[in-house]
Amino acid sequence: MPKKIEYKGNNVYVLRVPVGHTQRGYVKTTNKRVVANSMAEAQALYYKYEAGVKAEIESSGATPKTVKELVEHWFENVGNIGRKNTTIATDRHTSQRIIEALGDLHVRKVTYTQLNRFTANLIDEQCRNNSGRALSNRTVRMHQDFLKKLFDYAVKIGLRLDNPTEHMTFVKKSRKKIALPNMNFIKDYVQTIDEKSTNLRCAAYLALALGLRRGEICGLRWQDVDFQSNIIMVKWNRVKYDKAGTVSKNAIIVGASILQSPKSEEGDRQVAVPNEIMEELRELKLLNDSHKAVYQSVPGYEPIFSEFLILNEATGRPINVDTLSRFTGRISKCCGREGFTTHKLRHLATSVMLDQKLPVNVVQSVLGHADSKTTLDIYAHLLRPVNTEAAQIMGNFLQNMRK
């Protein structure tokens, strides 16, 4: 940090008042040269200059003074720009409790003790979620992480010289151990989906054999399938289209949904596909092509619909994520287990890969996790020593389940 008062000779001093940080993290100052007969006189002039700088900053109408104003300022200049609607909605929801508890506090006067007290109140039994249950450590940590980026922003724009969350006591994120069904259920599930329509059967296999998310399955297009190399390129995540929200530049609007980039850079990936699944996809391609003329006569049909893998067989429209979830729920109920979701098929695929001793970094690349730490955090209790190939393992697994 630069010296606040620097003697330059001939009774000349340079006064430097910190007003924030640069993007690289260096302290940003406003400077003034003064003439003083001693260091004590220079210090007195410094305090007067510092008070004037702070008063000028606070008198600016555009500068947020309270935590509530800081939250809105952050959303306006950072939070609402170039981010997914779901991420913005999550931050908005998280900020509500922060505004209720801390909103009237002056940004410059917030202390880590107040933030720790806020955390303690979140953990307290009186603070409940929409289901009436106490907040999980994961939810509490989301509030703390939001406070950290909020005060990082306050430092960046010169409202504070420090971030009070640096001394806050952060809670550890807790993850529930993933409870997986027994092999009898899995076998019943696979044999049941074998009897269903080709499109939904393929969707279920993509979740079970490759661990794809439901939005990734519904976002797959034929141009993403390499039949020659047995590879699928996962490039898109399909979500509901919120007309009131923001849409990223590369997003593609498809009816009442949009295609947007995956959750992380690693989510944009190539996944090797078992031969059994590729044969199913070839059959699906022939089926979709044979119905194309019929689909084109359906009111509301759009040419882009034909690019998608998983279509509604009656209308030719790409199925949405909720349709896929309902299908998974119906099949699991038929097999005697309610509440089994499409995302749990992803967990199931992961458990099989790890059980068959696949390296964690390979499993991470198949799942599209941002790093192997994410994979380890979620599936650490399933890990064993490792060394084989994902596509072959999942192909053998499906073959055994279909017998």
Concatenated DSSP letters of 207-249: HHHH---HHHHHT-BGGGEETTTTEEEE--EEEE--TTS---T
The pLDDT of 368-385, averaged and rounded, is: 59
Angle at 161 between CA 105 and CA 46, to 5 degrees: 110
Res. 159: pLDDT tops 60: yes
Our separate counts of H helices and E strands in the chain read 15, 9
Q: Between residues 249 and 347, which one has the greater pLDDT?
A: 347
Q: What is the DSSP letter of 66?
A: B
Q: What is the pLDDT of residues 212-225, one digit of tens each?
A: 888 899 999 999 99
| Homologous superfamily in CATH for domain 67-167 | Tyrosine recombinase, N-terminal domain (1.10.150.130)
Instruction: Work out the mean pLDDT of the chain and round it to a whole number.
Output: 81
* 251 Cα distance to chain centroid: 17
Q: Which two tokens stand for residue 150?
A: 């909020």
**What pLDDT is attached to residue 386?**
39
pLDDT > 90 in the chain, percent = 18
**What pLDDT is attached to residue 278?**
92
Q: Could you tell me which residues come within 8 angstroms of residue 212 by beta carbon, excluding any fewer than 6 positions away?
A: 206, 220, 234, 271, 346
The pLDDT of 322-351, averaged and rounded, is: 84
Q: What is the pLDDT of residues 235-272, one digit of tens each?
A: 888 877 765 455 556 677 777 777 777 766 666 788 88
Q: Do the beta carbons of residue 159 and residue 107 sit within 8 Å?
A: yes
The burial of 174, by beta-carbon neighbours within 10 Å (0-12 exposed, 13-18 middle, 19 or more buried), is given as exposed
Q: Which residue in 327, 322, 338 sits closest to 181, CA to CA?
A: 338
Residues of the chain with CATH 1.10.443.10: 183-232+266-402
**What pLDDT is attached to residue 100?**
92
Dist. CA 120–CA 112, nearest whole Å: 12
Q: What is the DSSP letter of 33?
A: E
Q: What is the pLDDT of residues 295-335, one digit of tens each?
A: 888 888 888 888 998 888 888 889 888 888 898 888 888 88
Q: Between residues 152 and 397, which one has the greater pLDDT?
A: 152
Per CATH, the architecture of 183-232+266-402 is what?
Orthogonal Bundle (1.10)
The pLDDT of 39-68, averaged and rounded, is: 79
Res. 123: pLDDT tops 70: yes
Which single residue is written with the structure tokens 């330059």? 8
- pLDDT bracket for residue 149 (50, 70, 90): very high
- pLDDT bracket for residue 381 (50, 70, 90): low
**What pLDDT is attached to residue 263?**
63
Res. 146: pLDDT tops 90: yes
Q: What is the DSSP letter of 364?
A: H
Res. 61: pLDDT tops 60: no
Residues of the chain with CATH 1.10.150.130: 67-167
The pLDDT of 98-108, averaged and rounded, is: 92
- pLDDT bracket for residue 375 (50, 70, 90): low
Q: Could you tell me which residues come within 8 angstroms of residue 7 by beta carbon, excluding any fewer than 6 positions away?
A: 13, 39, 42
Dist. CA 371–CA 365, nearest whole Å: 8
**What pLDDT is attached to residue 384?**
45
Q: Which two tokens stand for residue 363?
A: 């499993």
**What pLDDT is attached to residue 145?**
92
Res. 363: pLDDT tops 70: yes
- pLDDT bracket for residue 131 (50, 70, 90): low
The pLDDT of 132-145, averaged and rounded, is: 83
